[in-house]
Structure 1
Amino acid sequence: LPDHFKDLKKDNHSRRGLLALVSQRRSLLDYLKRKDDARYQTLIEKLGLRR
């Protein structure tokens, strides 16, 4: 996807959709961290996210 945005700098519709998905993922991960930290840590490692 980064290549897509480099090639098509004016594709703000797709960029906004991607930012919405990232924001939703962050919100869900924050919720999971508050409710079940051990499960959150397992998920972060499994997905390979740096948080």
Structure 2
Amino acid sequence: MISKEKKQAIMAEYARTPGDTGSPEVQVAVL
């Protein structure tokens, strides 16, 4: 399990738009 902080950093890096957490890129990156 990754930490919440690391998850947020990954989401920020891969998000298409600010606050984007549902795009496939973000989901795959988190995994």
Q: TM (normalized to structure 1)?
A: 0.29
Higher helix share: 1
